[in-house]
Structure 1
């Protein structure tokens, strides 16, 4: 894995103050004892020698007032230097929270094109009815490896289709196969953009968003973030007439050039968010704004057939270690539902698998 700097701001140098104090102390002693005597001694690296020959007999002792003058001047110099870093304007607890990014974050990359083929094959084997989406993911992963990028990622996707066809499951499975953290955001229950990107400090409940919290917790810069039912996202209007919508907040994150220096509303610093794999889902793309559609052209997905669902049940049943009898019982239930004119969705199949697994794992009754 490759480590990159995701924070577009320099951390204050903790060694700056002692280094400046040593330099000022040395300069003042040169003035007091004469530069000629000190020049006769070998030069010493200021940063490597903390004491700087404190006990040398040919150096004059500094008075208390002289030492205090050095401390005050050092504080002014350090204060001027730290003003260049936006981190110094943060609260101590927020600055401590971002301290984990001092040494950057890791990017997970695929070792070869063969691994990209394996991931695409695994996605298609689980959900062949989502072939338009899995093919696009396959091409993006291959291109990421061919370019030699430090981390693999998928260009923003907008999956449009009926609910319960496996869009969220596809995103979770993709994150597991790549080996990166995943985040699922339900747009219907989020308060505008605040849940994902955070809120500005002017709001009473200001806090960083779930996207930033995920990266701070996992220290991985290319997670897979899934936003479900994006067309139903809410919005918030401030008393000053400002509008905060989820779709507007996503626009700079979906564009690689602007995502490379995305400004966090809460921390008010620039972050490199271009390696995130965004997967959006909608039930009807026609209600989405044109700027979002220009960045994510919708990929229309069809409902799975009964044969698709039976294949998914067999594949998942074998992975969970279910008995052949339980798997066949689920397939028979799907056939009976189809004869009655009702084709269950993928969520129903997962519930059947969960119930069968609980029944097989329950302790025997005596």
Structure 2
């Protein structure tokens, strides 16, 4: 279901890129005076012209205060102009559709049930209260690597037909990827969530912040600090998210419809202010049964022989319980290798 909602909360976009504000104000005054009398030719006095110039300057000053059009790229201005009419919300339109999504996630990833059940109930409650599209509380998934935390978010996006993205904090420790950067930084850039909303026109994407426990603070050459941890505070707080200041676009957006999933191996490294803004769900390590069930479904999906499942089982038995390699990544890599061999041409 799609529904239009406001996205720009402070920006006033004046569509006067190629027209003079003075000319428009002059034309407006002439039409106004013509409608109040029978005169065809109306001459404006020097006093009128001075007033028009003052009003034009005021309009430009206000506009500059809302968006720095001289420094924004043309494509950025065009995206803001498009978003000024609002963005859409995507996701299930009925509780039955929510139930189908929840059932699919439970079936595909039964070990993630502690998470999927809460998200399923959130989406149901959102629709029951008159909400539109997919919406759930910010959720931190804590568990060992390779249990499918990021995969869950991507599948949720596919099933709900909502855009989804993953930001790996271990590869990008600074906060630029999430909140964007100011013009004082060497290479300014918008945050990926805002950029995705402006590009897709969808206001409730699913954003995954992977391995948030590895986030650190980065300092620029002029002493400015940035961190994913600090940047997320305003985005996860419902009140501040409704009128969130974007450092790149220098205006405010309604980010309260964004769905956040954070993943971590440990949560005790996160500041209390961040943990208090999220629901924390722990997921235990995968059992052999879970890994075999995953392998069976993947073998069927890829059209491979059922005998490969026995091969996977022998592979897993080589690792003791709780070994870090007993995870979905190991199973997926093995299946990828076998699939590549099966597709390899036979040399005669």
For Structure 1 versus Structure 2, the TM-score category normalised by the shorter chain is 0.7 to 0.9
Alignment partner of 1:3 is 2:4: yes
Deviation of the 1:288 alpha carbon: 0.9
TM-score, normalising length from structure 2?
0.86
The question of 1:330 aligning with 2:312 is answered yes
Counterpart of 1:12 in structure 2 is 14
Of 280, 286, 308, which aligns to 2:268?
Answer: 286
SS of residue in 2 equivalent to 1:133: helix
Deviations 1:185-227 (A, max 9, x none): 1111214211221111111222212222222222211111111
The 8 Å contact of residues 185 and 220 in structure 2, kept in 1 or not, is answered as no
Structure 2 match to 1:21: 26
Higher gyration radius (CA)? 1
Aligned pairs for 1:159-238 within 5 A: 159-238=141-220
Name the TM-score, length of structure 1 as normaliser.
Answer: 0.83
2:132 and 2:53 map into 1 onto residues whose CA distance is 40
- Tell me, in whole angstroms, the C-alpha distance in 2 between the residues paired with 1:320 and 1:179: 23
Separation (CA, whole Å) in 2 of partners of 1:77 and 1:248 = 41
Cα distance in 2 for residues equivalent to 1:115 and 1:4: 22
Q: Distance in 2 between matches of 1:144 and 1:166?
A: 25
Q: Check whether the contact 2:89–2:202 (CA below 8 A) recurs between aligned residues.
A: yes
> Given the alignment of the two structures, is residue 81 of structure 1 paired with residue 59 of structure 2, yes or no?
yes
| Gaps in structure 1 of 5+ consecutive residues | 39-58
Q: Indicate whether 1:264 and 2:269 are aligned.
A: no
Alpha-carbon distance between aligned partners in 2 of 1:341 and 1:27, rounded to the nearest angstrom: 79
Farther off after superposition, 320-329 or 4-13: 320-329
**Is 1:100 equivalent to 2:82 in the alignment?**
yes
**Residue in structure 2 matching 1:123, options 74, 96, 105:** 105
After TM superposition, the structure 1 stretch with the greater mean CA deviation from structure 2, 147-156 or 239-248, is 239-248
Q: 1:77 to 1:117 in 2, by over 3 A?
A: same
**CA distance 1:61–1:132, shift in 2 (3 Å):** closer
3-state SS of paired residue (1:83):
helix
SS at match of 1:287: coil
Matched ranges for 1:318-357 at <5 A? 318-334=300-316, 336-337=317-318, 344-357=326-339
CA distance in 1, matches of 2:288, 2:133: 38
Cα 1:70–1:89 shift into 2, 3 Å:
farther
After alignment, is 107-116 or 66-75 more displaced? 66-75
Corresponding residue to 1:154 among 115, 132, 136: 136
Helix, strand or coil for the counterpart of 2:137?
Answer: coil
Change (3 A) 1:320 1:68: farther
Instruction: Report how many aligned residue pairs link the two structures.
Output: 338
The CA distance in 2 between the partners of 1:338 and 1:26, in whole Å, is 83
After superposition, the CA RMSD in angstroms is 2.8
Gaps of 5+ in 2: none
